[in-house]
Amino acid sequence: MTSLSHHYYSHHRTFEQSLDVVYPTVAFAGPPLPLVVLVVGSGWLGHRFFVYAGTSWWNSSAPKTIASLGAVCVCVRHRGAFPPVSVPTLVVLATIAGLVSLFQVGLAWPSVALASAVFAIMWLLWSAAAQGSATYEEMLEDVATALVWVRDNRAALPAHGPQLIFGGYSSGGHVAIGLLNRPDVLTAHGLPSCVSELCDGVLLVSGVLATRPAAATTSPRWFTDFWNRFVWGPASGRLPSPIHELECNAQWRQASAVPPHLLVGCAKEVFGWDVANVYFCSQAYASVLKNKGSPVRYVEIDSNHWSVLNSKALCQALRLELRTNGWPDRDKIRSHNRKAS
């Protein structure tokens, strides 16, 4: 059994800049588990209430799964990028409007009046949603502010373990890693710039860890390139690619500055369709960390990106790592012993 409390981490008190604390309501035997802070996904579109309402069944699944194991999970939302009305957007809206009207008139020719009305409504809603959309930097600012809230309110949270695990899933994993790669943003918020001082472990569940191919691949790029451009517009070319930043970020070259990582990948990302595999490269990301001498575990489970968060396989994998294997403490001890020898 789990319960949830909702909090705002910004003085603006908007739904996007809020978080949920999900915690178990029954006692668990054994040592207390770490506090887990996860950034939720949604393709970088952010979490305005009407957007989150459509994905809440998915985004809330991981925190509930973690809480069911006896850990407290803080589920962090952030402002998002929302594509402005553009020619590609108008084409998408017109297509949807045409299909809706087509089915409404009994699979005959689409009604011009109905299609026009649907298009106008969608255009107005889309334009409203695009107002005040966030930049990538603002997403990092939001998550850093949420971490400050966690630090300042941790004593009041129903979490007893001294460790803190930080990470995310889907695009939330991309934003989380992006923040860890930005010591300037962390320092500006009064947080430790060294990742190993900020958290005791990094958990990434089917995270977006590349925005361009990490190696020679046969995976098509049309979908990922389209989505990047669709969501970010001209800024898509400047969107960081975490696996590539592993090679150039000086902090990640020092194994002592990198806490243990647990990367959970899926056997079949996106239902097995080879259209977004460029994004999901957990195994390759783990290999790069391992080659740098950093403590890392890669766990592949028999699931896919869209059903992994509430899957029994994820629950079993996290139970094994957190409770049975004692992650991240055991990995930290092993890493320390290797360096000492």
pLDDT in tens, 117-126: 767 776 677 7
With a CB cutoff of 8 Å and minimum separation 6, the contacts of 164 are 34, 35, 36, 37, 150, 198, 199, 200
Sheet of 2-8, strands arranged across: 2-8, 18-24, 73-76, 35-39, 164-170, 201-207, 261-266, 296-301
- Block residue for tokens 């981490």: 9
- Residue ranges of the alpha helices (H) in 105-194? 112-130, 136-153, 171-180, 183-188
Q: How far apart are the first and last CA of the chain?
A: 44
* Residue-level pLDDT at 21: 96
* Residue-level pLDDT at 43: 87
Q: CB of 172 within 8 A of CB of 47?
A: no
pLDDT in tens, 299-310: 999 988 888 998
* pTM passes above 0.75: yes
Pairing of strands 261-266, 296-301: parallel
Report, as ranges of residue numbers, the positions in the chain whose pLDDT lies below 70.
Answer: 48-57, 85-93, 96-115, 118, 122-123, 128-129, 216-218, 250-256, 271-272, 330-341
